[in-house]
Structure 1
Amino acid sequence: MMKAFLGAIALATAGCAAHSAPSHPPEVSTEQLAAQIDGLEAASGGRLGLALFSQDEGLLFAHRGAERFAMCSTFKLALAAMTLETSGVREERLDFGEDDILSYAPYAKERAQIGWMSGLEAAHHAVTLSDNTAANLLLARLGGPEAFTAWLRDAGDRVTRLDRNEPALNENAPGDPRDTTTPEAKAELVGNLLWGDRLSATDRSILHGWLVETSTGMARLRGGLPDGWNAGDKTGTCGGEGQPEFNDIAVFETPAGSHYVLAAFLDRPTGTSAEADAVLADAARAVAEWIRKSGA
């Protein structure tokens, strides 16, 4: 019922949120896609940020693309890239004790009796399972949030910032710029990490493989992509009572061989978590249809 309702609203409604035109206008206008995304946002009761980035054309479409949103666990994708790039870290032994194991740390809990994991294992499970303890161990080894933010700047991201560790970074307080990004910045960063020369070809392949292996976002953006489109993603969920956020960064390839990153952030929707997931899936469905019709 919720999905049908969202679809009907999306086709009928055109809101007033800021949209970015494609860098190279496709054959089909972005107006219908903009109306669909406006409608999904209105039906969700929250604020929806979205950016589509193409390997060939750069930024193709954005809705609230320059507005700040809490990152939640989406930062772990770039943290894994930093780990892969930093010499020697993947082979290092990262020790931890019971006090380091956070409430959501499935892999760390498996390793509790052993009391350590390698840097590569930490990066792998920070992405695929979103393990919070693994992420904190990597942050500690790599110099903390400040060093991570400096690495982002060096990678060309002038917007994204990490200020705290897990779980404090998930607060999502109104107007707080800490631990935030924008849809446009995140989509471009991920595209550059996967398709640029910042990482070696081997490390790009490892990172992409982890995103494909991830199963936490099957009901979000990947749930709206057509069968046969190879996809991976990194989710993020955070915020306290009354200020939840549901995020997803999907990377996908069409049957024609075109590569895209779709970054989506849904802040403070009024429905259930399942309904929030459905909004993100419907957004991906609308974007995929636009890609197919436009030849973008």
Structure 2
Amino acid sequence: MSLHTPALLDQACLIVHGPDKPGIVAAVANLVLRNGGNIVSLDQYSDDPEGGAFFQRVVFTRADLAGAFPDIEADLEQTLSPFGLSWTLTDQSVPKRMAILASTSDHCLLDLLWRHRRGELPVTVPMVISNHTTTAEEVRSFGVPFFHVHSQGADKSAAERQIVDLLKGNVDFVVLARYMQILSPSFLENVGVPVINIHHSFLPAFIGAGPYRKAKERGVKLIGATSHYVTADLDEGPIIEQDVVRVTHADSAEDLQRRGADVERAVLSRAVTWHAEDKVIRHGNHTIVF
């Protein structure tokens, strides 16, 4: 983690989700209290108070958190199981390990590395993997290991196996920073961690190469970007964040592409930050973002 990022010592994040029932909020608050914690942030949402789904994010402090973790987890299991709730508890002083996959476009890749160096992303970056070598020196200038894995042609299974070998057990999530390769369902299963993607928001209207040129020809008035979790269904995973900017007839295709890159950087950095801070809960094919 960057030296600019303040350590969140003795601070935990509890994520709770499941069927909405009376008494959940009180049960969680009492659990934190009897384990010596102090709630500093609490967000919750129910999609239907009458038998719907309940979601909650609780941040609390507790002296000697690491030592108390096993007891808190045991209490959580005993307390929340009768409600039919699922939960995760994380130590906020331990940053998530984020690997980046990229191709030749460097705007999202370098933006993430720059934000990380400035302490704006609560992650570590153990590696960048690319199917091209064009960004190798720039990546290494940030002190981040760079790996080139050639991937071309219809059969990408060998490349995917090599990438999985690099990632397995070394990362907590993966970011596709304009990685222009389609990942197979087998890869997603084998890598075993969340994968976050970023792309322009013209889909499905302008598919394939040259989307900004096609958008210019159609006279679009809005351009934007979407960041989502990757699933086996191409570009149809749960959306984390989106944004748009207005454009006019006076903007060239190059102007649209430049402004689109700005939106992509901002949207991806927010999605990465929220995921790293445990602010995103996946539910079916959508997300709750606290």
- TM above 0.5, yes or no, is no
- Pick the TM interval, shorter chain: under 0.3
Higher strand share: 2
Larger radius of gyration: 2
Higher relative contact order (CA 8 A, sep 6+): 1
Higher helix share: 1
Q: TM-score, normalised by structure 2?
A: 0.28
